[in-house]
Amino acid sequence: MTNTKPSVAGTAPHLGTRALNRATLDRQLLLRPARISAAAAVEHLVGLQAQNVKPPYYALAARLDGFAPEALSRLMADREVVRIVTMRSTVHTHTADDCLTLRPLVQPARDRELTQFRKGLAGVDLDRLAALARELVETEPRTMKQLREALLREWPDADPQALSVAARCRLPLVQVTPRGLWGRSGQVSLTTAEHWLGRPAGPAATPDAVVLRYLAAFGPASVRDMQAWAGLTRLRDAFERLRPRLVTFRDEGGVELFDLPDAPRPDPDTPAPPRFLPEFDNLLLSHADRTRVVPPEYRGRSWQGNFAYCTLLVDGFLAGLWRLEEHALVIEPFGRLTGAQRDEVTAEGERMLRTMHPETPYDIRFGAVRAA
């Protein structure tokens, strides 16, 4: 185990990239399949990135022992988890409790987001817009198109997109089922979190409490790392208040990292099995410095424009892309894999396919090494 003793200024122990990698993988339930429920995993991970429907399911398949997609789908159908815009202004799958407390925490960021649309909202009373939008979506769930058209009748000179963005920013709008259910289709229809869950929003989670949860799921981490994950600024004060309860380290660039004293920090040589991650997995998005998972030479390789690829981890680091075709799991590594690594990747691919598509036969194919 890495040194975990509290440090004084100037004497913080050093954590190399591999040590950070193994610690983060452990917190992310990616070193070994976790024997916990889907609900417990969603809570521990402080939500799952969910711009699309399938990524949360694949994210849990990579992390949990005995996971079945129906487990998360059932939680969503029972309104124990929901899809809502929270961190970084992106859709996340959260537990109901987190939905009602994390969304108020990030509300100031959603309010600031609206400043980008002020020209299209000239003359619009945002309080009145929020009240009208709430009445509309609580009467019956509405698509963004339906909501936009209704709001345009009140403000015909406003920019239509700006009106719908304003409703999304001012209100905690959740996507109602069947959207998000495994094996079901459905357009995005929205209502308020309070209406869908049948209870009022709780007090906003405190920054201090969320810092502790972030470190438990993503640490060790810097202040900038957490700000990148949350899409919030000015979190330094929360870290300073918590400093007496935390331990500190320095990364290879000398940046101060904070952590929970008793959090796992495995030996850097701990084996890390291959993992198939979905597009937008939070592992790759939740630090300002992503080199703990993304080698510098592969930076930007998991994206093309606004499109994100499904990613493959080998030895704990980004090592390639994958996709499902009609009859095949196609793996495109970024570099040459050893024979042993190919065998391990194949075995993990088979495990993922048994979990996610037990009734569908797939071949596993390695494509050509994907050059930059």
Residues 6+ apart with CB under 8 A from 304: none
At 322 the pLDDT is: 97
Alpha helical stretches, state H, the chain: 17-27, 38-44, 55-61, 69-77, 96-113, 126-139, 144-154, 160-170, 193-197, 207-218, 223-230, 236-242, 339-356
Which pLDDT score is estimated for 326?
A: 86
Confidence at residue 372, expressed as pLDDT on a 0 to 100 scale: 63
Share of the chain residues as helix, strand and coil, in percent rounded to the nearest 5: 45, 15, 40
- Whole-model pTM: value is 0.94
pLDDT at 337: 95
Closest CA to 286 of 53, 88, 82: 88
Angle 40-46-50 (CA atoms, 0-180°, nearest 5)? 100
3-state secondary structure of 141: coil
SS3 sequence, 63-99? CECCCCHHHHHHHHHCCCEEEEECHHHCEEEEEHHHH
Residue 277: per-residue pLDDT: 98
Looking at residue 226, its pLDDT comes to: 97
What torsion, rounded to 10 degrees, do the Cα atoms 185, 190, 195, 196 define?
Answer: 20
Side chain identity at residue 319, one-letter code: A
What one-character DSSP code corresponds to residue 12? P
Residues 6+ apart with CB under 8 A from 196: 79, 82, 174, 176
Segments of the chain scoring below 70 in pLDDT = 1-10, 370-372
| pLDDT tens per residue, range 61-104 | 999 999 999 999 999 999 999 999 999 999 999 999 999 999 99
Distance CA 251, CA 26 (A): 18
Distance CA 246, CA 264 (A): 13
Whole-number Å distance between alpha carbons of 359 and 180: 21
Q: 290-338 pLDDT, tens per residue?
A: 999 999 999 998 888 888 999 999 999 999 999 999 899 999 999 999 9
The end-to-end CA distance of the chain, in Å, is 36
One DSSP character per residue, 194-207 reads HHHHTS---PPPPH
Answer whether 335's CB lies under 8 Å from 321's CB. no
pLDDT number for residue 303: 86
